[in-house]
Amino acid sequence: MEKKWWKESVVYQIYPKSFQDSNGDGIGDIPGIISRLDYLAELGADVLWLCPVYSSPNDDNGYDVSNYRDIMPEFGTLADIDLLIKKAHEKGLKIVMDLIVNHTSDENPWFIEARKSKDNPYHDYYIWKDGEKGVLPNNWESHFSGPAWEYVDELGQYYLHIFSKKQPDLNWENEKVRKEVVEICRFWLERGIDGFRMDTINFISKVPGFPSVPGKSGLVRGHDFYMNGPRVHEYLHGLYESVLKDYDIMTVGETPNVTPQIALQYVGEDRGELNMIFQFEHMLVDSYDGGKWNLIPMDLFRLKEIMSKWQKEMDGGWNSLFLNNHDQPRMVSRFGDDGKFRRESACMLATMLHTLKGTPYIYQGEELGMTNIALDSIDQYQDIQTINFYHDQLEKGIDPEKIMAKIHYRSRDNGRTPMQWSDEENAGFSSVTPWFGVNPNYKTINARQQMNDSNSIFHYYQKLIALRKKNPVVVYGDYKEYFEDSHQLYAYSRTLDDTCLFVFLNLTGSDADAAIPESLQLEDPSVYISNYGRETFTRSLKLAPYEAYVVIGKIRS
Ligand code: GLC
Ligand code: CA
């Protein structure tokens, strides 16, 4: 297997709006990020992925870009981002930026032009359908509720928006659009960034004709017609050949709705497309029918099955490992226990992410075990998807309490509360009331407290990262699963040459008996990491709730 820096790295994801406010306006910003670089270096992160910082009217917090070559004034200036890149590099940290090119903002000059007339040179930058007002071109539902089409009276046409109506989809069939994207990439790469996280990148090719999902009434998710579409690989390979391949960078695509086999078409080492993708199969373990709001009870056995499947089937590709991000609930609240066993379960889940094969991603605050938030009223929420969902459900006659319960569990705002830096006012995030509510538990869950506590989740992450750097087996070792049928344990080994790492994770809040299989004999075995402070090697043991017990040794042949 080819050695690459991005395989050996740990990525830290920053949601700039909620990371650190530097100028007292309640909104996180780039100088704020610069002021926290030492913290990130101390944690051991190698790469910082910034959620979008481009000019944007913020209908979807920056995922609606109005100018790809400038910075949102709330976040700073181009000079600030240049300084961030420079300072980060000085500390050995790389910078990866979000690239949002499935759609733009409706306030992007391209769209402002495009909607002026059918013969405007920019009209064909977007996806239009002639039609009559009130007769939708097809039955696709937007990811943010309501139809995926918006009518423009002056043109007598609909435009496609898979996300909000302020996020019109770009028309990648148009070669000019593809060239624009190449130039945007080059602009940022020349500024010195180290890669891209490509937003909803498997949406860029739509099935010609935009067919309705057959046999369904009402609005439905039309993903089979716009995800992994007919020309997506041609487009991505083109982007790689035209610009990406000229730089030593990492690329990670956001691609819902993929199997490992489909994923390999994007990341296979001989494909010339992307380095990694984010797959979302494991983000659907607590819902049915692929719909994020169709909630069912969490099934951690299913989680383990999915994680393991991706380990086994991504042969010739590379996994990205994550359990939360800015679109998902907090990992410890969702997959662990954010009450009694918050520390233990957060560390156990972290152990999984940092010992499986792939590149681990940490979402800001995860390293502190930050938790979900449950706000009383919909008015306190900020996320467009959450707010639209609430009103859509209300219109459908659903009991508001039931809607709020779903929102508490699943809303993207769970992950967007301000970073908890200290127990000072506003969690040390800002000197004024922040743009979005601080989680009241910041008094006990915060970075300052954890940095002073050698037993904290922060220090556990720091140790996991440091160990990864010292032990190539964690990066390059082969994966093998044990006790596949166990509903309590997730057990696997990683082996590289004669070195073996053996991992036991107790996925549950009850004790679990565990023993390293007899077939595996280790010489000079020692404890690699333990979230219960175990220091001596033992073959068999009773794992405590959410215990992670990892050993390392040489294989005795
Ligand atoms: C991705 C982003 C999400 C955004 C959407 C539309 O899923 O992660 O935050 O709303 O794309 O750009
Ligand atoms: Ca600010």
* Alpha-carbon gap, residue 404 to 300, rounded angstroms: 24
Token pair in block for residue 557 = 């042949």
Residue type present at position 184? I
* φ/ψ (deg, to 5) at 532: -115, 15
Q: How far is the CA of 346 from the centre of ligand 2 (A)?
A: 30
Pocket of ligand 1 (CB under 6 A): 60, 63, 100, 163, 199-200, 254, 326-327
Q: Which ligand is nearest to the CA of 22?
A: 2
- What are the phi and psi torsion angles at 401 (to 5°)? -65, -40
Q: How far apart are CA 161 and CA 148, in angstroms?
A: 5
User: Phi, psi (5° rounding) for residue 287?
Assistant: -145, 165
Kindly report the protein residue whose alpha carbon is nearest to atom 9 of ligand 1.
327
Q: How far is the CA of 61 from the centre of ligand 1 (A)?
A: 9
Q: Which of 59, 60, 141, 199 is catalytic?
A: 199
Q: Which atom of ligand 1 is nearest to the CA of 325?
A: 8
DSSP state of 179: H
Rounded to an integer, what distance in angstroms lies between the CA atom of residue 481 and that of residue 555? Answer: 16
| Separation of CA 334 and ligand 2 centre (Å) | 30
- Nearest ligand to the CA of 56 is 1
DSSP E strand stretches across 206-283: 250-254, 276-278
Ligand 1 atom having least distance to the Cα of 100: 12
Ligand 1 site-directed mutation target among 105, 200, 412, most atoms within 8 Å of CB: 200
Active site residue 254: yes
In this prediction, residue 290 carries a pLDDT of: 84
Ligand 1 centre distance from Cα of residue 385 (Å): 10
8 Å CB contact between 394 and 401: no
Q: What is the whole-number distance in angstroms between the Cα of residue 63 and the centre of ligand 1?
A: 6
Residue 552 has phi, psi (to 5 degrees) of: -140, 145
Report the pLDDT value the prediction gives residue 239, as an integer from 0 to 100.
Answer: 98
What is the residue with the minimal CA distance to atom 5 of ligand 1?
63
Give me the tens of pLDDT residue by residue for the chain, a chain 557 residues long: 799 999 999 999 999 999 999 999 999 999 999 999 999 999 999 999 999 999 999 999 999 999 999 999 999 999 999 999 999 999 999 999 999 999 999 999 999 999 999 999 999 999 999 999 999 999 999 999 999 999 999 999 999 999 999 999 999 999 999 999 999 999 999 999 999 999 999 999 999 999 999 999 999 999 999 999 999 999 999 999 999 999 999 999 999 999 999 999 999 999 999 999 999 999 999 999 888 999 999 999 999 999 999 999 999 999 999 999 999 999 999 999 999 999 999 999 999 999 999 999 999 999 999 999 999 999 999 999 999 999 999 999 999 999 999 999 999 999 999 999 999 999 999 999 999 999 999 999 999 999 999 999 999 999 999 999 999 999 999 999 999 999 999 999 999 999 999 999 999 999 999 999 999 999 999 999 999 999 999 999 999 999 999 999 999 87
Q: What is the pTM of this model?
A: 0.98
119 is catalytic: no
> Which of the ligands is closest to the CA of residue 99?
1
Report which protein residue has its CA nearest ligand 1's atom 7. 200
Helices (H), 192-292: 232-242, 260-267
Angle at Cα 181 formed by Cα 87 and Cα 111, nearest 5°?
Answer: 110
Q: How far is the CA of 160 from the centre of ligand 1 (A)?
A: 16
Q: Whose CA is nearest to atom 4 of ligand 1?
A: 63
Q: How far apart are the first and last CA of the chain?
A: 23
What number does the ligand 1 atom closest to the CA of 144 have?
10
The Cα–Cα gap between 307 and 455 comes to 28
- The pLDDT assigned to 318 comes to 97
- Ligand 1: nearest atom to the Cα of 327: 9
User: How many angstroms separate the CA atoms of 27 and 425, rounded?
Assistant: 15
Mutate to test the pocket of ligand 1, among 65, 163, 258, 279 (most ligand atoms within 8 A of CB): 163
Which of 254, 281, 344, 366 is an active site residue? 254
* Separation of CA 419 and ligand 2 centre (Å): 13
Closest listed residue to residue 500, CA positions, set 546, 557, 416, 428: 557
pLDDT of residue 361: 99
Ligand nearest to the CA of 322: 1
Is residue 257 within 8 A of residue 267, CB to CB? The reply is no
Ligand 1 atom 12: residue of nearest CA: 63
The two structure tokens encoding residue 67: 């100018």
